[in-house]
A and B are shown apart, each in its own frame.
Chain A
Amino acid sequence: MEIFIQILINSIVSGLLLMLVAYGFSLIFRTNKVFHIAHGGVYVASVYFLIFIHSYCQNLFILHEILLWGISIILTILFVSLLALLIELLVYRPLYKKQASEIISLITSLGLYIVIVNMIALLFGNETQMINNEVKESYFISDIIITHGQQVQFLFAIICLLVLAVPVNISRIGKKLQAVADNQEIASVIGINVKKMRLIAIIIGSLLAASGALLKAYDVGIDPHMGMSITLSAVVVVILAGKNSFWTLLITAILISTIQNFTEWFLSAQWKEGITYLILIIILLFRTEGIMSYKLRIENR
């Protein structure tokens, strides 16, 4: 029984991290109409930038540890926003001007992913990098262990969701983003600046991915090729949820990570991805609109 509760707690924490990436992906997918595989590239790049800027600042001036991390994280936020801005302006905006299809955006995004990941491998090498090397105390409730890393992840994931995702869901900008997602032409007719909304969507989406990446790397470290599998998991969440509502995505993310953790426990870690994509393929074949959404018209499938 304890093991079930333990896996459930692990799943909730990793589900929250998956939710950060998935919400970002969903925002970009729906607003920019881009199948943003390069999300995984941004995911990895943010952690490497943090590690780099932290060691750089460390050599530059002598500061208190917390202040040093604070500065590094602010610089990372700026870096990720800039990266997202460049991706939108240089790569995705020309596609938007051409009214290119989703499949063209998928190919472009795959190319972009290859470029970003190999750029990181070129600069930092292929080895796993750690942010945090110390082992800290875990928290026990009878037999259930909640590690220090999980406590930090849980707390900060909720903070990031509250700061980044919830405002998008309830504010005026959120409504505008939704309008652009529904129909770009009509949105521009009623006076919404579509290009600006696309920028906002990709920047917030990338920041969400980056926060997920930093929290993940805090616990287990990072290597340049980690982005692909987490992005594909996020894709599974987005397709499975079917619509862009906060709660649907959250529940689906936790569901997917529960399934992944149970497969890992009962079969092996190598089956984890296979089972996730088996779910995806079944959903795609038999219920393309997702499990928690209304039925689509045949032309839109």
Chain B
Amino acid sequence: MNYFLHIVILLEIYIILALSLNMKVGFTGLLSIAQAIFYGIGAYVTAIFMVELGSPFLLAIVISIVVSVFFSLFIAFIASRLRDLYFALATMAFQIILYAIIYNWTSLTNGPYGIAGIPQPEILGVAFDNLSSFALLGFVFMVLTILFLLWFQKTPFSRLLESTRDDELAVIAMGKNPKYYKRFSVCISGALAAIAGSLYATYVTYIDPSSFTIDESILIMSIVIIGGTGNIWGPVSGALFYILLPEVLKFIDIPDSIAASLRMIIYGFVLILIIRIKPDGFFGKYVFK
């Protein structure tokens, strides 16, 4: 039962994460390979505020969202100047630079040793200190994220984001400023990733930089690409596929040392095949050109 709950919590965190990247990739067409760093910023800010300053969980989440949005503005600046391949490359570089800062700023982040002893979240006197209650907390956050996005999809504003993605020149011709929409989607995306990071930090209670490398960013990007972009069920199905794949592999009797590599091999193959055969992913709406 505990193992099942562990999977559920991971799933909730990854669904929020995939939906957050979908804001950039699906709604605005910005293929960013830096999502792990916003996830990491969320986790680190939460950890630092809760461990060093003893602040409550909700305050830590709010502050981590603010910090993450601040760093998102850099991505927005990159998005205003570069497109397609060069945008992806610049976000990759951004990921590596911020990773180096997190790794080397030992007085703040404790460097490679990480931060241990992050307290479990407590909201209005209710402590989420066991697995089932934490799964419930994660579920609430996930549902709130999905509801927010469902509402957001219906607003006329989201059409403006999509039109920025489909034809930037047309948006300019309509008298709108595409840079503004890009900035908006990048900031929302950073905020959602920070929520996922906060949940992760308080769930595992120990974080170190190795969870937020460029490999993790590539992984999050591939979750969104495999699941599909531009709507809500695409990224959700991608996260489901990524988390449940190793569980399916357990039915075939293979040793653990092989299973991790085998999972990634299958995952890489699926990514290559999806791009070729069904470029809109499992349930996606938007096709990358």
Residues of A at under 8 Å CB distance from B?
A: 35, 91, 94-95, 101-104, 106-108, 110-115, 118-119, 121-122, 228, 232, 235, 239, 268, 270-271, 273-275, 277-278, 280-281, 284-285, 288, 301
* B41-65 interface bits toward A, Cβ cutoff 8 Å, 1 = contact, 0 = none: 0000000000000000000000000
Complex-state Cα separation, A222 to B215, whole angstroms = 18
Complex-state Cα separation, A35 to B78, whole angstroms = 20
Whether the Cβ atoms of B272 and A239 lie closer than 8 Å is no
Given A114-B268, A115-B272, A121-B261, also A270-B85 (CB < 8 A) = no
Given contacts A106-B88, A108-B272, A115-B272, 20 further A-B contacts (CB under 8 A): A101-B289, A102-B85, A104-B279, A107-B225, A108-B271, A108-B276, A111-B222, A111-B268, A112-B268, A114-B222, A115-B269, A118-B268, A232-B92, A239-B89, A274-B100, A274-B104, A280-B93, A281-B78, A281-B90, A281-B97
Given A273-B96, A278-B97, also A110-B222 (CB < 8 A) = yes
Given A118-B268, A122-B262, A301-B83, also A285-B275 (CB < 8 A) = no
Whether the Cβ atoms of A118 and B92 lie closer than 8 Å is no
Complex-state Cα separation, A95 to B276, whole angstroms = 8
- How big is chain B's contact interface, by range? 35 or more
Whether the Cβ atoms of A277 and B96 lie closer than 8 Å is yes
Interface of A is mostly: helix
Kindly state whether residue B113 has any CB partner on chain A within 8 Å: no
Chain A residue at minimal CB-CB distance from B209: A270
Interface of B is mostly: helix
Kindly state whether residue B218 has any CB partner on chain A within 8 Å: yes
* B84-127 interface bits toward A, Cβ cutoff 8 Å, 1 = contact, 0 = none: 11101110111011011101100000000000000000000000
Whether the Cβ atoms of A235 and B264 lie closer than 8 Å is no
Whether the Cβ atoms of B82 and A288 lie closer than 8 Å is yes
Whether the Cβ atoms of A270 and B103 lie closer than 8 Å is yes
Chain B residue at minimal CB-CB distance from A119: B265
Whether the Cβ atoms of A274 and B82 lie closer than 8 Å is no
When distances are taken between beta carbons in the complex, the residues of chain A under 8 Å from B86 are 284, 288, 301
Chain A residue at minimal CB-CB distance from B272: A111
Kindly state whether residue B180 has any CB partner on chain A within 8 Å: no
Chain A residue at minimal CB-CB distance from B104: A270
When distances are taken between beta carbons in the complex, the residues of chain A under 8 Å from B221 are 107, 110
Whether the Cβ atoms of A274 and B261 lie closer than 8 Å is no
Whether the Cβ atoms of B82 and A285 lie closer than 8 Å is yes
Kindly state whether residue B36 has any CB partner on chain A within 8 Å: no
Complex-state Cα separation, A232 to B83, whole angstroms = 19
B215-248 at interface with A (beta carbon < 8 Å) = 215, 218, 221-222, 225
Given A270-B103, A285-B90, also A110-B97 (CB < 8 A) = no
Whether the Cβ atoms of A104 and B288 lie closer than 8 Å is yes
Chain B residue at minimal CB-CB distance from A121: B261
* B182-202 interface bits toward A, Cβ cutoff 8 Å, 1 = contact, 0 = none: 000000000000000000000
When distances are taken between beta carbons in the complex, the residues of chain A under 8 Å from B88 are 103, 106
The smallest C-beta distance from B147 to any residue of chain A, in angstroms, reads 30
Whether the Cβ atoms of A118 and B264 lie closer than 8 Å is yes
What are 28 A-B residue pairs whose CB atoms fall within 8 Å in the complex? A35-B85, A103-B85, A104-B279, A104-B288, A107-B225, A107-B288, A108-B275, A110-B218, A111-B222, A111-B268, A111-B271, A111-B275, A114-B218, A114-B267, A115-B268, A118-B265, A228-B215, A270-B103, A271-B104, A273-B100, A274-B99, A275-B100, A280-B93, A281-B94, A284-B86, A284-B93, A285-B81, A301-B86
Kindly state whether residue B214 has any CB partner on chain A within 8 Å: yes
Whether the Cβ atoms of A284 and B265 lie closer than 8 Å is no
When distances are taken between beta carbons in the complex, the residues of chain A under 8 Å from B268 are 111-115, 118
Whether the Cβ atoms of B84 and A102 lie closer than 8 Å is yes
Complex-state Cα separation, A274 to B288, whole angstroms = 30
Complex-state Cα separation, A76 to B262, whole angstroms = 25
The smallest C-beta distance from B221 to any residue of chain A, in angstroms, reads 8
Whether the Cβ atoms of A228 and B214 lie closer than 8 Å is yes
Whether the Cβ atoms of B261 and A118 lie closer than 8 Å is yes
Whether the Cβ atoms of A274 and B97 lie closer than 8 Å is yes
Complex-state Cα separation, A104 to B99, whole angstroms = 26
Kindly state whether residue B173 has any CB partner on chain A within 8 Å: no
When distances are taken between beta carbons in the complex, the residues of chain B under 8 Å from A271 are 100, 104
The smallest C-beta distance from B78 to any residue of chain A, in angstroms, reads 7
Complex-state Cα separation, A273 to B93, whole angstroms = 9
Complex-state Cα separation, A54 to B289, whole angstroms = 44
The smallest C-beta distance from B138 to any residue of chain A, in angstroms, reads 27
When distances are taken between beta carbons in the complex, the residues of chain B under 8 Å from A118 are 261-262, 264-265, 268
When distances are taken between beta carbons in the complex, the residues of chain A under 8 Å from B271 are 107-108, 110-111, 114
Whether the Cβ atoms of B89 and A274 lie closer than 8 Å is no
The smallest C-beta distance from B224 to any residue of chain A, in angstroms, reads 10
The smallest C-beta distance from A184 to any residue of chain B, in angstroms, reads 17
Kindly state whether residue B11 has any CB partner on chain A within 8 Å: no
Whether the Cβ atoms of A277 and B269 lie closer than 8 Å is no
Chain A residue at minimal CB-CB distance from B31: A103
The smallest C-beta distance from A102 to any residue of chain B, in angstroms, reads 4
When distances are taken between beta carbons in the complex, the residues of chain A under 8 Å from B222 are 107, 110-111, 114
User: Which of A102, A111, A274, A301 is the most central at the interface, judged by chain B CB atoms within 10 Å of its CB?
Assistant: A111
Chain A residue at minimal CB-CB distance from B258: A122
Complex-state Cα separation, A119 to B260, whole angstroms = 11
B12-49 at interface with A (beta carbon < 8 Å) = 31
Whether the Cβ atoms of A274 and B264 lie closer than 8 Å is no
